[in-house]
Structure 1
């Protein structure tokens, strides 16, 4: 049974200065040279990860005991963990000490990962995996996501990978004779008929906010193209431009028409999901991390009754329906210095890349690595796995390139947008002002 259960947690990061004490303590286990795994000639494959990540180590442990046994004998796997909120500062400190371990997780801020790449600390995986003959074992959609998040280069590995879209109740669709919408207008038609039938068209959490702003960015990517939010980040466009406000207005209109139900502002993530899983909502926008819940005991409509659709096209829009919003959780990377100096590190990289996808799938995880060994999965899980394996491009999400203040303002005001307490222009102005402040 597929049991991938992971919800992306986005915690505020505290400043590096406040972490000096904690970082010094951790350095004892992560400093360069010796048996720690750091330095040019590590005796182990040390992996420094965030403590909240509980999915990667079991897969690596299984590889170390099985397919990668020879690599593990040459350089035993050693996993060290620190809290996610400390990871950015810890990695930065280790970089200044020339003590980065052979393998380590990304911090919570993609911009910091991009800086490490620019400074030459990270392996160029396009080049390295091509030389190792395993470049084709990483899904192109996952690579696309990493490149968009981390400065344009393939310098992180997708140990986690989620695509996003609209899950729908297949039984409800069949009973009402609805085809899966491929355009925004078709989606509105289905939503209107769902409401008329006494259903909530879209289950969504206004308390969390991001399930609503994901719809804003989805509309932006379909209407203006995949670089819509990159242009905002680069200063070439503003969220207050008319075409951007129009996207927020489209989602505000869903709320005005009652398509999120009467209590969207008070629903948290679990309550919104439960509305879908009890058959009271026809659709829910979510990512593939929801598969654990879909295949779990709490899904009263049954996994066989859950379908997945792409965010629909906007008529006349510049975007493609085949561009999935996606994320890679907290990916991991390799230290360029130890990779270049030690063949054991390269052997580990080759073995992980070639086999991680298959081992993860056996454990119920869908990652950005290609899985090419047959594993029996529920139909909805197989459908998602197939989409990931064949996707060639991706887009990000509304807050992906925002600073912390803008991200917080976006999520906390999203419910006000769909309940009419903020106009689309007011909402976008609040977020843009936060972006302008830097």
Structure 2
């Protein structure tokens, strides 16, 4: 089914869905014509395979089970896969040949735009409008292309600095508000025998988180958007300065020794075992930082926004926060599959499910909540930091083309390993940017 046919099918299916809703449920499971309900199967791929995401998976499974029970003849086939493997390998290969799962986790932004351009994504606009949930989302920007909705975020995030309040109190450190204050605090932390910034950068995207904010402080988010249009270059003076600032953190020995050999899971462990005073990461780690693994540090992990870099062109009190993790739906689905996918959306994207996900799985909601009771102290602190930010922006890998994002990650690893200079890294990334821009 091509994209236009899929959109037409959605509209037709919704006539049937609305009529069905008006007539009430059919608990017998018998079709209106008297026959057995039609068998429909939906494949659904998720990335909730880690111990830390068990609760999130359970919430998803509950929504799936509810949808199956309400719709006799419907069967979901769930597949769990590593997030990086899904994003960088399997899903890309499937999109190339046109055989993705019916429902699948996908990143909004640049990834989604490529799949929409290839005609692989189902236009969800009619479903979202009929359910009346468009305005209930905090933002659908990263899943909207040319005014049409091609995916729905299931959670939000922000990235900033998690810190060990016990170490900060021991060293009588205040939360740094400027770049110089951050460097001074890191020097004292290092002198006391702690690692200032826990880092486990075997996977390149991990080092990209901190760098992303350092670069935004230097150049501003508009400049990051302009490298894609060719109006700005990575070799411009302000961009090179951003690479220099990041390299300074590595050159001062603030990162974990041997960070390039360590898997991401080790980064949070460095904070929770008291080896590192700070880690720059996303709020998806909150469940870990508030769970049993935190031990005596439960309630003693805090969160603060990255400090200002004086003279920088960015918004110095902004934060990287967005809603880019979500579910996409294949344009290959039949009318019957689309109808059942709509039933899943109706059950999964509710305020009740979002509240449960926030309280139990510690995932920031992608939908507006009227009740925030029951949240833990760290989550409350995060929400306050986000509320205090003057603006928010997407991560770099949702802005630049995937090939450029991959080369940024490699370049940062080379800075951490001290095998390339900031100028060399900027030049290499610009070459990649030129190639990516020329191919579009």
Question: TM-score per shorter chain, which class?
Answer: 0.7 to 0.9
With normalisation by structure 2, the TM-score equals: 0.72
- Match of residue 178 from structure 1: 173
Whether 1:357 aligns to 2:361 is no
Unpaired runs of at least 5, structure 1: 1-26
Matches within 5 A, 1:135-174: 135-140=134-139, 143-146=140-143, 154-174=149-169
TM normalised by structure 1 equals 0.73
Select the residue among 69, 87, 105 that pairs with 2:91: 87
Shift of the 63–225 alpha-carbon distance from structure 1 to 2, 3 Å rule, reads same
Report the counterpart of residue 321 of structure 1 in structure 2. 317
Residue 243 of structure 1, CA deviation: 0.7
* Cα gap change, 1:113 to 1:339, in 2 (>3 Å): farther
Q: 1:229-248 to 2 correspondence within 5 Å?
A: 229-248=224-243
Within 5 A, what are the aligned runs for 1:259-408?
259-316=254-311, 317-326=313-322, 328-333=324-329, 348-355=344-351, 356-361=353-358, 363-366=360-363, 367-373=365-371, 376-384=374-382, 394-403=392-401, 405-408=403-406
Tell me whether 352-361 or 369-378 shows the greater mean CA deviation: 369-378
Equivalent of 1:200, from 195, 201, 207?
195
1:144–1:393 CA contact under 8 A, matched in 2: no
Structure 2 partner of 1:428: 426
Query: How much has 1:276 moved relative to structure 2?
Result: 1.7
- TM-superposed CA distance for 1:287, in Å, is 0.8
Aligned alpha-carbon RMSD (Å): 4.2
Measured after TM superposition, the shift of residue 248 of structure 1 is 0.6
| 1:44-91 per-position Cα deviation (integer Å, ceiling 9, x unaligned) | 77543335445666434423556x688x33784634548634434545
Q: 1:374 to 1:349 in 2, by over 3 A?
A: same
Q: Distance in 1 between matches of 2:41 and 2:324?
A: 21
CA distance in 2, matches of 1:342, 1:407: 33
Instruction: Give the SS at the match of 1:369.
Output: coil
What corresponds to 1:123 in structure 2? 123
Partner of 1:7: none
CA positional deviation for 1:423 = 1.1
For 1:263 and 1:120, locate their aligned partners in 2 and report how far apart those are by CA, in whole Å. Answer: 41
* Cα 1:315/1:346, change in 2 over 3 Å: same
Q: Alpha carbons of 1:319 and 1:146: their partners in 2 closer, same or farther (altered >3 Å)?
A: farther
Query: Which whole-Å CA distance do the structure 1 matches of 2:388 and 2:75 have between them?
Result: 32
Q: CA deviation at 1:339?
A: 8.3
1:380-428 superposed Cα distances (whole Å, 9 cap, x missing partner): 1343466679989642334444555544443334243135332111122
Q: Is the 8 A contact 2:159 2:320 kept in 1?
A: yes
